[in-house]
Amino acid sequence: MTEDIEKFIKSAKWIFAKTYEKTWPHEYTLLKDAIDKSVFFDFVKLINTQGYKEYFYTREQIYYKYKDMVYWTMDKTIEETNLINRVHENGTYEARLRAGTLPERSK
């Protein structure tokens, strides 16, 4: 983790994802809001190269844990990425699975 990425995390505009408030509360930050877009992509690269694989239901995902937060992206390539998600470590799929607090899936 570089000092620039740490500064990015602290200064980024983190937006609460209202759509998932009841099921998967988390925050995200957008590329278009990044003060330094190169640092945004440096963080995306860090997530994808230094992160770890876990599942979100049946989807394999790459996550990166820093302090008590977990970060991930959703795009297929680093270049396509326009947002970074984050959640407290207790809010990940694996943590909620272990705790028995997964939301019911709609049929």
In a domain, 104, yes or no: no
The pLDDT of residue 93 is 96
- Which portions of the chain are predicted below pLDDT 50? 107
In a domain, 106, yes or no: no
In a domain, 94, yes or no: yes
The domain total for the chain is 1
Q: How many Cβ atoms sit within 10 Å of the Cβ of residue 4?
A: 13
Q: What's the distance, CA 48 to chain centroid? A: 11
C-alpha span between 7 and 9 (Å, rounded) = 5
C-alpha span between 96 and 70 (Å, rounded) = 13
* Residue 36, token pair as written in the block: 């330094």
The pLDDT of residue 31 is 97
**Residue 43's domain spans which residues?**
3-99
Q: Judge if pTM exceeds 0.85.
A: yes
